[in-house]
Amino acid sequence: MKEIINDFDYDNNIPLIGEAAPEFGAITTNGYIHFPHDYRGHWVVFFSHPGDFTPVCTTEFMTFQSMIDEFRALNTELVGLSVDSNASHIAWIQTIRNDITFQGWKNMEITFPVVADVSGEIARRYGMLQPSAGDTDTVRAVFIIDPRGVIRTILYYPKSVGRNITEIKRIVIALQTSDAFHVATPAEWIPGDDVIVPAPGKVSDIRRGAERDWFLKFKSISPEMILNKITNRKFINDDKKHMKHKKK
């Protein structure tokens, strides 16, 4: 089936945080998709990789796959893309399953869809092709898209730096926590840490509190409260222990 691509000014319309995710239709390793329409009601981590059969991308794909149930526990789906053909994607996925061992994982089946974008039109639409990066491959872009199809986070990594998938998951949890509890999360936040409550909206509210640090107030929300609010299942890993270890 032919890709559905609308007219688009690639130079001036790279999507931004808070905007609707650009729509497209495309062949993937799991069949044809209409994006983000087919994912309405779910969060999505939509990410590009520079190319099939490349070493850093292989380690990223295996790490994403190892955490797929953790993302799905957060009502979050994974969708990959590169400017390769569907046949190339399938051959690479078969190679990962049959020949690659990483971090003790082997015979790993990549089950999330990988978008074929040989023309590069979808990648251009999302700003994934950046000629100043040195070639025509996609950079390591990440778009976190909410259930309404709105872009909530954008990350770009160079080809030489593999992504921290645990950090991407942490961002998803932080966004969902912020939405569910109407709070913000401070630097280095992980579930169980204090969150920031909104600043007073009126001068009278500040005077009533008579506190010097009125613009920076914290409150506690337990990991259990967050889990109960944003998911019906426990995370696969003990996030608090795992991410505290990452901080050291």
- 188: CATH: 3.30.1020
Query: Considering 123, 144, 163, which residue would you say is the last residue of a domain?
Result: 163
Q: Which domain holds residue 43?
A: 24-163
Shared domain for 192 and 80, answered yes or no, is no
Give a yes or no: residue 15 inside a domain.
no
Query: Considering 95, 130, 163, which residue would you say is the last residue of a domain?
Result: 163
Give a yes or no: residue 5 inside a domain.
no
Give a yes or no: residue 201 inside a domain.
yes
Residue 12's pLDDT is: 52
Active-site residue set: 57
Shared domain for 149 and 196, answered yes or no, is no
CA distance 83 to 248: 37
Shared domain for 110 and 189, answered yes or no, is no
Shared domain for 37 and 158, answered yes or no, is yes
Q: Do residues 73 and 234 lie in contact, with contact meaning Cβ atoms separated by under 8 Å?
A: yes
Shared domain for 178 and 235, answered yes or no, is yes
Give a yes or no: residue 215 inside a domain.
yes
Dihedral (C-alpha) 182, 183, 184, 190: value to the nearest 10 degrees?
A: -110
CA distance 198 to 182: 8
Shared domain for 108 and 36, answered yes or no, is yes
Which of 156, 215, 198, 147 is CA-nearest to residue 175? 147
**Domains identified in the chain, total number:** 2
State the Cα angle at 171 between 236 and 164, rounded to 5°: 75
Shared domain for 73 and 138, answered yes or no, is yes
Give a yes or no: residue 248 inside a domain.
no
Shared domain for 150 and 186, answered yes or no, is no
Residue 136's pLDDT is: 57
Q: Do residues 241 and 226 lie in contact, with contact meaning Cβ atoms separated by under 8 Å?
A: no
Residue 111's pLDDT is: 98
Residue 138's pLDDT is: 77
Shared domain for 157 and 206, answered yes or no, is no
Shared domain for 191 and 155, answered yes or no, is no
pTM for the whole structure: 0.85
Residue 16's pLDDT is: 95
Q: Do residues 181 and 229 lie in contact, with contact meaning Cβ atoms separated by under 8 Å?
A: yes
Shared domain for 178 and 159, answered yes or no, is no
Residue 203's pLDDT is: 62
> Over its length of 248 residues, how does the chain's per-residue pLDDT go in tens digits?
344 444 444 445 789 999 999 999 999 999 999 999 999 999 999 999 999 999 999 999 999 999 999 999 999 999 999 999 999 999 999 999 999 999 999 999 999 999 999 999 999 999 998 766 455 577 899 999 999 999 999 999 988 999 999 999 999 999 999 999 999 999 999 999 999 998 766 666 555 555 566 688 899 999 999 988 887 544 434 444 444 444 44
Q: Do residues 166 and 243 lie in contact, with contact meaning Cβ atoms separated by under 8 Å?
A: yes
